[in-house]
């Protein structure tokens, strides 16, 4: 009991000295050492196997994923009476939000997207630069197509696709005769949606598409494209999604 209290005191002291990420790493390793000690003492096992590092990593990832889920759920409950921002899909459905971004200083274009369920939990986030498109509408259409293809690759059955580009959405849902680049991009998306009847493309306001826009803007200055899946999100993305839900 005395030893356990000492471990507890040391853990509290370490918590005051380390940031959250380092402390969580320290805590899981400490717990693993303690469990190994109990196994050795109570099972009379003198084998020196050491700490199961893989088990520690699995436990840490599980904890971080559960904490993220709780933070997002709590955020929704606390701000449920606030004005609407991000619009949640129906229960048990997934929504893909996509956007394109352009930086006038670097003359770079990029696209980004995020998949969330009806509770606001993020399942996928991605971003990549694209070659300079013939128009900004074409860039928005590329974001739609790339986003859908990304979800198919990750075996995510999305139901809604949202974009804040009205012209891009109308080019697909209400096409006029267009033999230019825009028409060609729109036709590719129409063919893609035709083979996946459960997909529905909708227009939303920019304020309802903030995370996708931030991802596209972020990758413009990023050295490489990225694809983050559930449980592997960086802290800034978790914060961004939670802030987006505070007005939901």
Q: Which CATH architecture has domain 94-245?
A: 2-Layer Sandwich (3.30)
pLDDT at 87 over 60: yes
**DSSP secondary structure, 130-192, as one string:** EPPPSSHHHHHHHHHHHHHHHHHHTT----EEEES-HHHHHHHHSPPP--SHHHHHHHHHHHH
- Model's pTM, two decimal places? 0.65
- Mean pLDDT of all residues in 144-169: 94
Whether the CB-CB separation of 137 and 171 falls below 8 Å is answered with: yes
What was the pLDDT predicted at 184? 87
Per-domain residue ranges of the chain: 2-78, 94-245
Structure tokens at 141: 């259409």
CA distance 9 to 26: 14
127-141, 182-196, 218-232, range with the lowest pLDDT: 218-232
**DSSP secondary structure, 181-212, as one string:** HHHHHHHHHHHHHHT-TT-EEEE--GGGSHHH
pLDDT 10s digits, 34-85? 666 666 666 655 555 555 666 666 666 666 555 555 555 554 444 443 445 7
């Amino acid at each position: 009991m005395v030893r356990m209290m000492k471990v507890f005191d040391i853990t509290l002291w370490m918590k005051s000295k380390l940031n959250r990420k380092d402390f969580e790493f320290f805590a899981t390793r400490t717990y693993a050492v303690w469990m190994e000690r109990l196994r050795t003492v109570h099972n009379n096992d003198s084998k020196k196997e050491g700490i199961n590092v893989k088990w520690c990593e699995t436990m840490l990832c599980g904890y971080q994923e559960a904490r993220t889920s709780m933070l997002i759920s709590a955020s929704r409950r606390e701000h449920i009476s606030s004005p609407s921002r991000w619009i949640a899909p129906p229960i048990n459905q997934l929504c893909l939000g996509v956007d394109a971004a352009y930086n006038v200083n670097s003359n770079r274009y990029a696209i980004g997207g995020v998949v969330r369920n009806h509770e606001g939990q993020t399942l996928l986030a991605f971003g990549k630069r694209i070659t300079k498109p013939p128009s900004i509408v074409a860039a928005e259409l590329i974001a739609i197509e790339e986003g859908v293809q990304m979800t198919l690759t990750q075996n995510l059955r999305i139901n809604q696709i949202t974009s804040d580009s009205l012209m891009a959405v109308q080019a697909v849902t209400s096409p006029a005769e267009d033999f230019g680049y825009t028409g060609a991009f729109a036709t590719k998306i129409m063919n893609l949606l035709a083979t996946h009847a459960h997909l529905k493309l909708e227009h939303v306001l920019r304020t309802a598409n903030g995370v996708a826009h931030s991802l596209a803007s972020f990758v413009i200055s990023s050295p490489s494209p990225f694809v983050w899946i559930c449980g592997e999100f960086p802290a800034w993305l978790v914060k961004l999604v939670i802030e987006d839900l505070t007005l939901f």
